[in-house]
Structure 1
């Protein structure tokens, strides 16, 4: 066997292999001297740039399968306001019902205002926003979902028209009777809305736009002339018609919370919570902290007081705004309202852009459902554990009947084929 050379010999042998001559303009230098001299050519990087050395084995980019997928930030259009375990499926389902019957409710309102309550089918296909169906979809498919309520027929002009069925016309007559019977109650609702407002006046257009929320008839703008002792219509310079309150009625200026306080004082005391900020050094237990917060919570501010006199960010101003929202919801048919309904009266009720955060801080009384883009606020105490209203207005009873009929294919059976 060939003996292993000493270490010095191995090093010298390696140098002899690496030694080479390089052509330069000055002289021929060994390669190892060139590498040690940064100012000489070729430089060390030229060695690695040489075609004799391959870099194909280097991973220069992380494969997609090894990359961590970033979780996309959820859009306010889809992000739910409530999360588990605070989610109430029963109340959330009410919003799903609204979406399910959007075409029915909007088409019913729009068609009722048309001459002879009919509409050209071709024209209806362009009114996706007014009739409540998605853009690009055929309106005829939505009409077919409610065969008991709508008819499609060919007129003598050989054009297709849509209108109410004979059965639906009977339901509309029934609804009109209910509105006539509830006229006094609806007038009192409008009076209370005016008493809640800062200047005791609200544009008629706002009341008309939110009429379904309160069960107010479509022709209320014409009916107000029948009650000169309560209302006065003022036409402003821009042509806007504004409804003004004529007389203040102290018997109406009693909020739903005040009435409930007379029945169940403890329940009202627990309705809201305006927490007092305190240091941990106080070492308060749960009972002491509740008593401290109670001093801050009570007394509540009446929503029928003058809200304009409160400084915007004081505790009294927040109590006032919370009370106004509570009273506003108590006047609605279903004890709930969407954000667009509330924002409509922002100026009249001295509300701020922080209404959403304000209501989130009162989970004992309010339940916010839906998405952050389009949320709806409920009065929790008005609903049972099954998500059904405890007290139902006659108009609401009719609406539920209309929804049931909308799901039926004929008068003898329901949508699933079971006999009624």
Structure 2
């Protein structure tokens, strides 16, 4: 041990260096270095990385990412005043805007069933537009969304019934507009149209004026009633239970089944019940509050067209729907009900009970037409012989039109004889 006299004349840094310079033997009697083993960190990020993957749902998200980029490009094309086409040179500037990691030209050539390249008749530059098949499917989707306007009104009503004061922010609805099957101008075509049901308090707030209590029934209640009748389970087992479907390869630890069974029986305030819902300080109060948040997210996903939504956009409903919890951590705590996919650089949550082998079990008209769009995108460069024959016929028609245009008279033909006469009058 170093004496106090030495400490008067040496600094603490020198003492530390002297101690480290001493060679220690590695025998158990001479080793005085204390090793502390850090416990593994159990956080939402580590659980997200170590979760059991559902490869079919991950693959579906990758396909949806491709379709999303194509729809963004189509949106920019439709904004052009000269027509629904744009030059490839101008499209190269949209690479970072639409989220492409490859060149725009390579992306366009990868999907010949979606994009059509042609030469501009006047400027002779390379331009791009949507194919007739893609355009027809987009028009069909718009027509179906307008035809299902009553269902869209019902979905907004149910969301407002779940909210605290029957009030929601229009900005939050706009973020999940496509997921809810709403038209792009839903604020004017739905909220301002149905005055007897909705009231626009200000530019970004909508209030429910006609509370139809017959809609205040959660979608999970149908499953509970079916379980009660078909499987002869007691009301105690099914009244507050949720359908559980773990992914393939999910490891069930010791005591997990008992915890899940107790959680299924735990009572909670249901989404459409109007009570003073607060997060209790006891363990049972916290579990009931979190289970209500699970029920709210379950009902919100049930109202969407494809039973999926981005996790980040769910956060905009936290205060309005009374689920002020860490949403991502809550979803990871219930892998049998929800599945989070991180493919495509975005975290998306699925309702597991609604999918089987990567497809929606109970389809709807909007989902069917969007599936057709996705199938057309996934064709990529397959079955392109039909496109080649169509291009050849179009080229022949354009050549015939150009020959007729050259044979006919044009507005500026009267200038040609004057120019020829002046050219002859000049001496050589």
Please tell me the TM-score bracket, short chain as reference: 0.5 to 0.7
CA distance in 2, matches of 1:80, 1:96: 22
State the shift of 1:311 in Å. Answer: 3.2
Show the counterpart of 1:181: 147
State the shift of 1:174 in Å. Answer: 1.4
1:81 aligns with 2:81: no
Change (3 A) 1:258 1:228: same
Equivalent positions of 1:55-66 (< 5 A) are: none
Q: Deviations over 1:370-393 (max 9, x none)?
A: 279843222111122x23211112
1:359 aligns with 2:331: yes
Show the counterpart of 2:13: none
Change (3 A) 1:146 1:307: farther
Show the counterpart of 2:159: 193
Q: Secondary structure at the match of 2:116?
A: strand
Using structure 2 for the length normalisation, give the TM-score. Answer: 0.65
Select which of 144, 150, 172 maps to 2:115: 150
Q: Deviations over 1:369-420 (max 9, x none)?
A: 3279843222111122x232111121111111112222336895599x9xxx
- Structure with the larger helix share: 2
Change (3 A) 1:308 1:144: farther
Show the counterpart of 2:20: none
State the shift of 1:144 in Å. Answer: 1.7
Show the counterpart of 1:260: 223
CA distance in 1, matches of 2:87, 2:323: 43
1:388 aligns with 2:359: yes
CA distance in 1, matches of 2:343, 2:374: 24
1:204 aligns with 2:170: yes
Show the counterpart of 2:270: 302
- When Rg is computed on C-alpha atoms for both structures, the one with the higher figure is 1
Change (3 A) 1:290 1:319: closer
CA distance in 2, matches of 1:399, 1:320: 32
State the shift of 1:150 in Å. Answer: 2.1
Using structure 1 for the length normalisation, give the TM-score. Answer: 0.66
CA distance in 2, matches of 1:408, 1:272: 35
CA distance in 2, matches of 1:371, 1:150: 25
State the shift of 1:103 in Å. Answer: 1.9
Tell me, which stretches of 5 or more residues in structure 2 are unaligned? 1-39, 245-253, 389-428
Tell me, which stretches of 5 or more residues in structure 1 are unaligned? 1-72, 274-283
Change (3 A) 1:205 1:122: farther
Show the counterpart of 1:126: 93
Aligned length: 323
Change (3 A) 1:112 1:245: farther
Q: Is the 8 A contact 2:224 2:241 kept in 1?
A: no
Select which of 298, 302, 326 maps to 1:330: 302
Q: Deviations over 1:271-330 (max 9, x none)?
A: 289xxxxxxxxxx999987775555x13x3211234764236633322221111110110
